[in-house]
Each structure stands twice: as structure tokens, then as C-alpha cells.
Structure 1
Amino acid sequence: MTARIYQRPKSAMQSGKAKTAQWVLEFEPSEARRADPLMGWTGSGDTQSQVILTFPGKEEAKAYAERYGIIARVHQTPPKTLKLQAYSDNFR
């Protein structure tokens, strides 16, 4: 059972920073998704892919994975770069 630990990114529809400080432990899918022949919906028998755990910090997520014997890979968040621009720069 393998998992990914990452910091939740800000969505495109979000202007604030709500829930971006949380770290997420998400299990990687163990089997491929397949289409249901009757309805055409995609699904799989893997129930672990539905489990998403949130933690206040990276260390708590790593400790949880170690405690329960989960092999976890930590994906670091890329550094945020700000493009500082004055309003008058629009008219240059």
C-alpha cells in the first residue's frame, strides 16, 4: 500500500488561502479504472483510492504513515514567486 503526501494547492476558483496549509495523505490506486458496461461510468474495486486524510503538518502525515506501515512519498510544494507590478506598469 503506497501513498502520496502533498500540500493542497489553491484552486483556480479560489482567491484566498483557505485549506492551503493542510497536508494530504492520499493512497495511490492499486488497480486500473474500468468502464461499467451498463451505464458507462468509470470505477474500480479499489476502496483505498476514496480515502483522503488531512493533517496540519507534513511531520504529522509522515508519522501517521510510519505508524501504520504505509509507504509514502512526500511531494514538496514548489516555492511561491510573486510578480510585483504597479498599476502604472500597465500603461508603459
Structure 2
Amino acid sequence: MAFIEYNPTRGGLRPKSTKLTKTHLILSSDLHEKIGDNNVSVSYDPDDKVIKLTPAESGGLKLTDGKLQSKGFVNFFGIDKKGLFDAEWNENEGAMFIKVK
């Protein structure tokens, strides 16, 4: 009798993408590596519909395992879109930009 072992793997997001749910903002593994497990400052441009994440020394929101509690800032900024969005890391600014369109 031959047995085949099942080893579950964590399903990941496609590179350079983020997922915005009702309660979390989830980063793809490549973006998580760039920003690290830090506190982040969150800002939003309502005209271009872009969320900006910047590493913060103190304060801000805690980024844990590539997840960020999003309910507070989503409600504050009035962001009503959920789903998978493109994101990019800008080396010059040291910030991540997420296009919520």
C-alpha cells in the first residue's frame, strides 16, 4: 500500500498585491519583506484613491505577519472597496502605495 503525504502550504497573494477585507489589509510576501514587521503610518489620497503605508518609529498601526487591522482607517477615510489591489514599493520615499480603484 502506497501513501501520499499531504503537506498544506499557505496560499499567497500574487506578487506586488494587497488584499483589503472588511477587517484586514493583507500584503503579498514580497511587499511584506520590504516593509517588515513594523508599525506603519497610514495615509490616504481620496482624489487618486491611493493608500500610503510608511514605516513608523513609534505610533501608527502594528503590522503583524503581513496583516494590518484596517477597519478603523477604512471607516475613517470612507473606503468602500474590498478585494485584491495592485501595490508598489517606492525606494526613494521608503513607502508602499496601494491603488484602491
Task: Give yes or no for TM over 0.5.
Answer: no
Higher relative contact order (CA 8 A, sep 6+): 1
Higher strand content, 1 or 2: 2
Give the TM-score of the pair, scaled to structure 2. Answer: 0.27
Q: Which has the larger radius of gyration?
A: 1
